[in-house]
Amino acid sequence: MIPFDYQRAEDAAGAVAAVAADPDARFLGGGTNLVDHMKLGVAAPHRLVDVTRIGLDDVAELPGGGVRIGAGVRNSDLAAHPLVRGRYPALSRALLSGASGQLRNAATTGGNLMQRTRCVYFEDVTTPCNKRAPGTGCSALEGPFTRYHAILGASEHCAATHPSDMAVALNALDAEVRVLGPGGERTIPLDEFHRLPGDAPDRDTVLEHGELITAVELPAPAGAARSTYRKVRDRASYAFALVSVAAVLDLDGGGAVRDVRIALGGVAHKPWRARAAEDALRGGAPGEERIAAAATAAVAAARPLPGNAFKVDLVRATLGSVLRELAAGPAQEPAEPADPADSTENAVEGEGR
Amino acid sequence: MEADVTLRVDGTTRVVRVDTRTTLLDALREKLDATAPKKGCDHGQCGACTVLLNGRRVNACLTFAVAQDGAEVVTAAGLGADGAPHRVQRAFLDNDGFQCGYCTPGQVCSAVGMLEEAAAGWPSAATGDVAAEPVLDDAEIRERMSGNLCRCGAYVNIVAAVREAAADSAGNTGNTDSADSVTSEAAPAGGAEVR
Ligand SMILES: Cc1cc2nc3c(=O)[nH]c(=O)nc-3n(C[C@H](O)[C@H](O)[C@H](O)COP(=O)(O)OP(=O)(O)OC[C@H]3O[C@@H](n4cnc5c(N)ncnc54)[C@H](O)[C@@H]3O)c2cc1C
Ligand code: FES
Ligand code: FES
């Protein structure tokens, strides 16, 4: 590891200024991905700007029933927050299915969104990888270790997947990412936050150097919506997704689909919004035929690599099963604006983590 | 680049000069002679390095010591008091919750942190309804302890030990046992409802 300077930022503006001024500086959240990458030689920043003590540790209710999650909120606190457990169970489930209890206690919301691929070739600095070392080639396209690689949206330059569970749920929940940069604030829909690899796989997201995630905002869930997250993996816990599904289903009084949102994990360079599957479900009750059509539509554009074609069937089966579960299950707690006293009590304080 | 870091380790305040590249785990083991936390993988994949950092279980191998300046660290050696093991340590002994013992300090710290999380009502991936109060059955214990690998495969007895410690703490809310004093300060300061 190369030597580096460490500084604790005191506020968001200071953090942005410090990183923006130095092309070799990086924000440090919980460190569970960046410290690992510095050990592996995948990342070699000269300066770390710690953003865990800049007051972004609250989960707060927004007027209208949405929720604002500070970028510094730890994954464990977010998953356990009453507002999230009650209104966005898919998000709790996604967080809880990721990593381990220890890692979730350290990992932050911002760091989770920014975590990099677990592609074995990306993490092994002795192999060619366009994401880590642009222009060297993509080892995954040749295989043989393609189990965790993309079947959708890959390019001839990169077949890596985004490993975050949380981001898949946030996509299906239509979250927005709030960002502070040297030029001011902007808001990015989650679906536009991560990129497809194209010919620049070294860029995972649309963030520019020096831009800091300050919060993630969730709109209020629809009245009768139900949502969940299902993750399929090689062992029962503490493993990344082979395939995952986040889905939100809102049925009207007659049982017809009023709204549906589906995102897939483990299959693409970004959380994959399955819009064709959503379209196939709309217009009537979510019966067997419509569910089968949706599952087929979700993978119609799949182009598996040698060694990962099984993921096409796995997506179809997992999505079908999730949709059947949601269609049969009860609607979740509606988003009644909480008692203000309550929401203060429920705010996550980040003091001294 | 070097920095002075102040850490409270197992109840004693220590000041140590470290290279910024030093992880908390290496600072503890190499600089402060606190060798209870072990280095298994050094990449967050095994849990052998688990300590309680400001009361919460974390992997000491994936955080830099400089980033923890001012923190309170409790290792497995800091649990319990003078010859009286912490109830979780006692349960590991009584249930043979180990073989070679390499993973054990991490398992014990993880179990202590985990029991606090469960007591605070935190759900897990094994919880059927994440909005409901979880019940700490064996499936829950396995899921919540999955961040600690045991290469000897002592899992059956580890689960038994944690189950026993959980039952102990549930029946012992008065918490007069001095051996528990380290952890009673260490409640997760999270947003979970305490019911
Ligand atoms: C063994 C292991 C298993 C894991 N399993 C899973 C899993 O199953 N599912 C899953 O989803 N994840 C898993 N993870 C990954 C884990 O979720 C991430 O490492 C974690 O979420 C990263 O958060 P952090 O705060 O530690 O980020 P850091 O490591 O601190 O930072 C990661 C990146 O984010 C940047 N960053 C941090 N904060 C901000 C901000 N506010 N704005 C802009 N940039 C920022 C940093 O500069 C860095 O580039 C696993 C990790 C390990 C080690
Ligand atoms: S040594 Fe830290 S998790 Fe393995
Ligand atoms: S007892 Fe040997 S590794 Fe767990």
Task: Locate the chain B residue with the closest alpha carbon to A96.
Answer: B125
**Could you tell me if residue B190 is inside a domain?**
no
Q: Is the peptide bond before A134 cis (omega within 30 degrees of 0)?
A: no
Cβ separation of B125 and A237 shorter than 8 Å? yes
Q: Any chain A CB within 8 A of the CB of B29? A: no
Residue where one domain finishes, among candidates B78, B110, B133: B78
Residues B118 and B168 in one domain: yes
Closest residue on chain A to B189 (Cα): A349
Tell me if B193 is assigned to some domain. no
Query: Using one digit for the tens of pLDDT, what is the confidence trace for A175-201?
Result: 999 999 999 999 999 999 999 999 999
Residues A313-318, mean pLDDT to the nearest whole number = 98
B191 in a domain, yes or no?
Answer: no
Q: Domain of B73: which CATH number?
A: 3.10.20.30
Residue B137 forms part of a structural domain: yes
User: How close does chain B come to A26, measured CA to CA in Å?
Assistant: 14
Structure tokens at A21: 């001024």
Instruction: Select from B44, B78, B112 the last residue of a domain.
Output: B78
Q: For residue B138, give its domain range.
A: 87-180
In a domain, B195, yes or no: no
CATH of the domain at B154: 1.10.150.120
Interchain CB contact of A32 with B (< 8 Å): yes
- Same structural domain for residues B91 and B73? no
- State how far the Cα of A262 lies from the Cα of A299, in Å rounded to an integer: 12
Which of A5-9, B81-85, B92-96, B188-192 shows the lowest mean pLDDT across its residues?
A: B188-192
Q: Does residue B33 sit in the same domain as residue B56?
A: yes
Please tell me which residue of chain A has the smallest CA distance to B149: A238
Cβ–ligand 3 contact at B64 (below 6 Å)? no
Residues of chain A positioned with their CB less than 8 A from the CB of B3? 6
In a domain, B136, yes or no: yes
Residues of B in contact with A101 (CB under 8 A): 57, 110, 113-114, 117, 124, 144-147
CB of residue B156 inside a 6 A radius of ligand 3: no
| Nearest Cβ partner for B122 among A80, A238, A347 | A80
Q: Provide the sign of the torsion angle of the four alpha carbons A100, B78, B63, A40, taken in this order.
A: negative
Quick one: B96 and B62 in the same domain?
Answer: no
Residue of B68, B65, B93 lying closest to B79 (CA atoms) = B93
* Local confidence band at A225 (pLDDT 50, 70, 90 cut-offs): confident
Last residue within a domain, chosen from B19, B53, B78: B78
Q: Are residue B176 and residue B94 in the same domain, yes or no? A: yes
The Cα of B62 is separated from the nearest Cα of chain A by a number of Å equal to 5
What's A186-201 look like in SS3? Answer: EEEEHHHHECCCCCCC
Q: Compute φ and ψ for B74, nearest 5 degrees.
A: -120, 120
- pLDDT digits over B130-179, tens only? 999 999 999 999 999 999 999 999 999 999 999 999 998 776 543 434 34
List, in order, residues 6 or more apart from A213 with CB less than 8 Å away.
Answer: A71, A109, A110, A113, A114, A177, A178, A179, A207
Task: For each of the domains in chain A, give its residue range(s) and CATH number, in order of start.
Answer: 226-328 (3.30.390.50)
pLDDT tens-digit series, residues A246-283:
999 999 999 999 999 999 999 999 999 999 999 999 98
Sequence length of chain B is: 195
Instruction: Indicate yes or no: CB of A349 within 8 angstroms of CB of B192.
Output: no
In a domain, B135, yes or no: yes
Q: Are residues B92 and B157 in the same domain?
A: yes
B78: pLDDT strictly greater than 60: yes
B99 and B161 belong to one structural domain: yes
Same domain, B17 and B67: yes
For residues B176 and B116, membership in a common domain is answered with yes
| Residue A59 with chain B: CB contacts under 8 Å | 191
What's residue B82's pLDDT? 78
* B131 contacts A86? CB cut-off 8 A: yes
Taking CA atoms, A247 is separated from A163, A278, B127, in Å, by 18, 10, 18
- Return d(Cα B181, Cα B146) in angstroms, integer: 26
Q: Is residue B100 part of a domain?
A: yes
**Based on the structure, what is the number of domains in chain B?**
2
- Looking at the structure, tell me whether residues B63 and B92 fall in a common domain: no
Percent of chain A with pLDDT over 90: 90
Q: Which of B41, B46, B59, B127 to mutate to test the interface with A (most CBs of A within 10 A)?
A: B59
Instruction: Give the model's pLDDT for residue A173.
Output: 97
Q: What is the distance between the alpha carbons of residues A107 and A95, in angstroms, rounded to a whole number?
A: 10
Q: Assess whether B103 and B173 both reside in one domain.
A: yes
Q: Is B189 on the interface with A (CB under 8 A)?
A: yes
Whether the CB-CB separation of A140 and A119 falls below 8 Å is answered with yes
How far does residue A111's CA lie from ligand 1's centre (Å)? Answer: 4
The pLDDT of residue A335 is 57
Based on the fold, state whether residues B111 and B62 are members of the same structural domain. Answer: no
Q: Which residue in A40, A100, A112 has the most chain B C-beta atoms within 10 A of its own C-beta, making it the best mutation to test that interface? A: A100
